[in-house]
Amino acid sequence: MSADAKSTVRAIGGRAPDVFRRGNWVSMRHYADDEDIDFAIVGTGAGGGTLACKLAEYGFSVVALDAGPYWRPLEDFASDEQHQEKLYWTDERIVDGDDPIQLGSNNSGKSVGGSTVHFAMVSLRFRPEWFKARSKLGYGADWPLDWREMWRYYAEVEAALQISGPVTYPWGPKRPRYPYRPHDLNAAALVLAQGAEALGIQWTATPLATVSAPRGNSPPCVYRGMCVIGCSTNAKQSVLITWLPRALAAGAEIRDLAMVGRIEHNEAGRVTGVHYHRDGRWRFQRARNVVVAGYAIETPRLLLNSSTDRFPEGLANSSGLVGKNLMVQANQAVWGTMDHEIRGYKGPPSLAITEHWNYADDGKDFFGGYAYMSQGPLPMVWAGTQSTKRGLWGQSLLDEMEKYNHQVGLKIVGECLPQERNRVTLTNERDQYGLPIPRVTYSYCDNDKALIRHSLAFMRRSLEAVGANDIWDETDDTCHLNGTARMGSDPTTSVVNADCRSWDIPNLWICDGSVFPTVGGVNPSLTIQAIACRTADRIKRLAARGEL
């Protein structure tokens, strides 16, 4: 069972766990360490897992390495918040800055499939103008990508995950209807809807990566409400059960419990493979290309830790920007209680959303936007909010917790601006692999604070409009990490180009949320997967032209 997966390598000897059947296996291609494979991919989350699938399907030889275990959700996942903390990246990290980030749970994952194993499944497209935030909206930086091209890749990912969503989406340019019907709304979502209608703004059922009808080996979602601690029925369309089975079928090898600590390069300045720790020893996988897809902390950490005499500031870092421009998304909330029973623990936690303030620009005293969604925190998270955020303990905590089934909340995913002072660096402390542990420094800027103020005031009005009582603000939560290896069109102001290829080392690629120049006000996973699909197409084309 579960204890095994954390300590014992599962994907080995020509087979990998069958994620759809207890105790079962699927066959997996095996590559030797000294075989010069086309791509070694570090990380199997939204970026790396998607790219591994696409590249393998295009005929490249691929080994994808992940530091986390290879779960079979049906047999490994309990319905228990504390136990499922095993899905998080809990290796030590130091946080500082004016607004130190809380890590370890909602913004991390240490599993094959990455944090999509415990993500809230919210699958949103960027507002088109965000890809040209600097020139069209006056803040942040432009992406080297065109929104019309991204629109096609979003459609590809939405089809691959069979997203459940509304027939028509209220904001932005036309998009195809979502493949599966939207989910039923729970009471928490209806509170958002009623509030939005009272305030005269639009809302919709949230496009979610959990199926509303059977699909292959996935049964329809049965509204267990445990999505953010791992789906034990496989209704959730995580990378673990979508892209990775396809990757295996197409001939990719996936190595679990394989922590990459260093990327090697030759005298010509090209990378030659990765040093990784597995089964108690360090090994070296040769590769013609290396893709780093470890997310916004582990990606810069690996690049910085791979420094050599030739690249003393780390790999791909001639711009000096590796590790910089770390962006969180603001995750503030307004909470209240209703006379109605709400029981927000039922169903996916964010069944309704409004992106009004992502698309409306009038009346804002800040750049950027935010979405807000209905909430359904489980008891440990809710008690943590009441105690560590609100400061309650003793009888006052117990009294407040007793209102659990009547509480409602609205929570933002808010755009924070890129700032070079927000960054990932290495410390002198070492982790269990002997690698330097990262320091994550974060401070909001005035624009971020103005956005947060606006959102809290607006959401408060929404809760007031539906008759909620005892309304209070949760002012200091964050989610989703991005940036730290931004893409761009100029090698002096970016780390990779539009193809996620590093400017400095042509066979080193970065494919995850760290390439985001700006974050927008939506959850990033759909965009990360869309970028991975685009990168795979570009690699295929470059290879055909002999330009890899």
Partner 1 sequence: MSDRYPGYDVMAKRRSMSWNDQTRAVIDARLAIDPAAHRFFTETEWQTLRALCDRIVPQTIARPHPVPLAAMIDEKARANLSEGYRYAELPPLQQAWRLGLAALDGEAQARHGRRFHALDGLEQDAVLTAVQQGNVRNPTWRELPPKSFFKKRILHDIVSAYYSHPTSWNEIGFGGPTGPRGYVRMSFDRRDPWEASEARPGREAQARRENARVG
Instruction: Name the residues that contact partner 1, by CB under 8 A.
Output: 1-2, 75-83, 88-96, 100-105, 108, 184-187, 190, 221-226, 232-233, 340-343, 345-347, 378-380, 382-384, 386-388, 391, 393-395, 397-399, 401-402, 404-405, 439-440
CB of 337 to partner 1, least distance (A): 13
d(CA 212, CA 250): 27
Closer to partner 1 by CB, 348 or 418: give it: 348
Q: Cβ(369)–Cβ(357) under 8 Å?
A: yes
Burial class (CB in 10 A: 0-12, 13-18, 19+), 391: exposed
d(CA 370, CA 192): 15
Closer to partner 1 by CB, 159 or 213: give it: 213
Closer to partner 1 by CB, 70 or 382: give it: 382
Q: Cβ(211)–Cβ(221) under 8 Å?
A: yes
Closer to partner 1 by CB, 185 or 413: give it: 185
Q: Which of 299, 292, 302, 290 is nearest to 37 (CA)?
A: 290
Q: Which residues contact 396 (CB under 8 A, 6 or more apart)?
A: none
Task: Please compute Rg for the chain using Cα positions.
Answer: 22
CB of 464 to partner 1, least distance (A): 18
Closer to partner 1 by CB, 342 or 487: give it: 342
Dump strand ranges (E) for 180-280.
204-205, 253-255, 259-265, 271-278
CB of 100 to partner 1, least distance (A): 6
d(CA 342, CA 476): 25
Closer to partner 1 by CB, 275 or 346: give it: 346
Q: How many CB atoms lie within 10 A of CB 430?
A: 11
CB of 485 to partner 1, least distance (A): 21
Closer to partner 1 by CB, 307 or 387: give it: 387
Closer to partner 1 by CB, 383 or 471: give it: 383
CB of 455 to partner 1, least distance (A): 24
CB of 524 to partner 1, least distance (A): 20
Closer to partner 1 by CB, 360 or 398: give it: 398
CB of 160 to partner 1, least distance (A): 25
CB of 473 to partner 1, least distance (A): 17
CB of 342 to partner 1, least distance (A): 7
Closer to partner 1 by CB, 225 or 369: give it: 225
Q: How many CB atoms lie within 10 A of CB 113?
A: 31
Closer to partner 1 by CB, 80 or 146: give it: 80
d(CA 54, CA 156): 12
Which of helix, strand or coil describes residue 400? helix
Closer to partner 1 by CB, 75 or 156: give it: 75
CB of 345 to partner 1, least distance (A): 6
CB of 292 to partner 1, least distance (A): 20
Q: Which residues contact 196 (CB under 8 A, 6 or more apart)?
A: 202, 203, 354, 356, 462
Bridge partners (DSSP) of residue 433 are: none
d(CA 246, CA 272): 27
Closer to partner 1 by CB, 33 or 184: give it: 184
Q: Which residues contact 486 (CB under 8 A, 6 or more apart)?
A: 141, 321, 325, 418, 494, 495, 496, 514, 515, 516, 517
CB of 263 to partner 1, least distance (A): 24
Q: Classify residue 69 by its DSSP letter.
A: -
Q: Which of 480, 444, 423 is nearest to 301 (CA)?
A: 423
For residue 249, what are its two tokens? 């079928």
Q: Which of 521, 475, 514, 479 is nearest to 367 (CA)?
A: 521
Burial class (CB in 10 A: 0-12, 13-18, 19+), 387: middle
Angle at 351 between CA 143 and CA 384, to 5 degrees: 90
CB of 76 to partner 1, least distance (A): 7
169-193 burial: b if 16+ Cβ within 10 Å, else e: bebbeebeebbbebbebbbbbbbbb
